[in-house]
Amino acid sequence: MKECVKVKRLLSRYLDKEAGVKDAIFVEEHLKRCPFCKIELSELTRAKEFLSEKQRKALPQDYLVCRLREEIAGSRNRQESLSWLVGMGNLSRRLIPIPVTVIALSIAFLVLSSRQQVNKYSLEEHILSGNQTTAEVALGLILGTED
Amino acid sequence: MNEDSLYIEQFLVGEEEGFEMLVRKYQDRVLNIVYSLIGQDREAEDIAQEAFLKVYHNLASFKQRSQFSTWLYRIVVNVTYDFLRKRKNFINDEAMLKSIPATYDGPKDSLLIKEREALIRKVIGKVPFKYRAAVVLKDIEGLSYIEISKILRCSIGTVESRIYRARQFLKEELFKVRGELI
């Protein structure tokens, strides 16, 4: 029984012709006497044969090479476009304040002009309402400080 | 200097042809390993491509302390494992069995081959990945225990035990599927 345990441990190695000479002789001697280990070996052999019967796949010669060329060229292009951005780094850092200032000034101008627009109407409304329009009131309406 | 080393040297001096020669030489072996590990065609090609891309990007750092094939197969096994882990569904048996046409116009032998192929894929799919990787490298690729131990980064004893366990799984699954060993 102890021998069976030892042999079972060696069976895969023996089957794959990886066992040393001593181990191989030991297994073969045991197999002559032990029908259980013989059955185990035959089952393992059939499992091995079953797997090795698997069909082999084959790709056309340059199939994968072409796919890889495309993929590598694509990743290279992506890298180049990224490196262009990195190269632009210093210049863009210097140029960033210009559009930011322009945008900020534009927003300020729009806000102020829209407020003036609103206040102009307010001034017109004030005049049309028939109330007294002093210079102080008019200026206040234009600047938006007058209610 | 062996053939692979020459191709690697060629690639390292800027000739892409060196890499392409390696791809041509190993593409079918890589495909068959991946295909045996995952059991699906289209995805096997994608994984093989991803593995070769890794080789392309890391070939300059390959020190050639081991054989190129050992390094390549290790990448292949790792990429496949990552793919399966992401998918969290090692092999979808139902999808696999559905891939066999219900009516097949070809010769009867072809149908038998297809059925057998589906059965093999189904049975292999039941074997845990670490055992499957060892037995596929042995029985599909025909590598030695020492080569497998280098690829899987484990001892020869572990390889032996994994292959034995994988065959035990195969044996049991075949009994379940067919009621007897084929």
pLDDT digits (tens, 9 = 90+) for A102-135: 999 999 888 887 666 555 556 777 777 777 778 8
User: Does A48 contact B167 at a Cβ distance shorter than 8 Å?
Assistant: yes
Tokens for A122?
């307010």
CA–CA distances in Å: residue B79 to residues A69, A96, B73, B75:
20, 43, 10, 6
pLDDT tens string, chain B, 182 residues long: the values are 689 999 999 999 999 999 999 999 999 999 999 999 987 777 899 999 999 999 999 999 998 888 999 999 999 999 999 999 888 654 444 454 444 343 334 455 666 777 777 888 888 888 999 999 999 999 989 999 999 999 999 999 999 999 999 999 988 888 877 665 44
Nearest to B26 by CA among B79, B71, B83: B71
Residues of A in contact with B135 (CB under 8 A): 51
Residues of A in contact with B35 (CB under 8 A): 57
Coil, strand, or helix at residue B178? helix
Instruction: Report the alpha-carbon distance of residue B173 to residue B157 in Å, rounded.
Output: 24
User: Do residues B30 and B76 make contact, with C-beta atoms less than 8 angstroms apart?
Assistant: yes
**How far away is chain A from the Cα of B54, in angstroms, using its nearest Cα?**
11
**Placement of tokens 């037995």 in the chain:** B135
**How far away is chain B from the Cα of A75, in angstroms, using its nearest Cα?**
10
User: Do residues A141 and A126 make contact, with C-beta atoms less than 8 angstroms apart?
Assistant: yes
CB nearest to A12's CB, from B36, B120, B164: B164
Type of residue found at B159: V
Coil, strand, or helix at residue A113? helix
Q: What is the pLDDT of residue B90?
A: 47
| Residue A15 CB coordination number (10 Å) | 19
Contact status of A6 with chain B (Cβ, < 8 Å):
no
User: Does B28 contact A72 at a Cβ distance shorter than 8 Å?
Assistant: no
Higher model confidence: residue A56 or residue B76? B76
Q: What is the pLDDT of residue B100?
A: 39
Q: What is the pLDDT of residue B65?
A: 86
**How far away is chain B from the Cα of A67, in angstroms, using its nearest Cα?**
8
Q: What is the pLDDT of residue A75?
A: 83
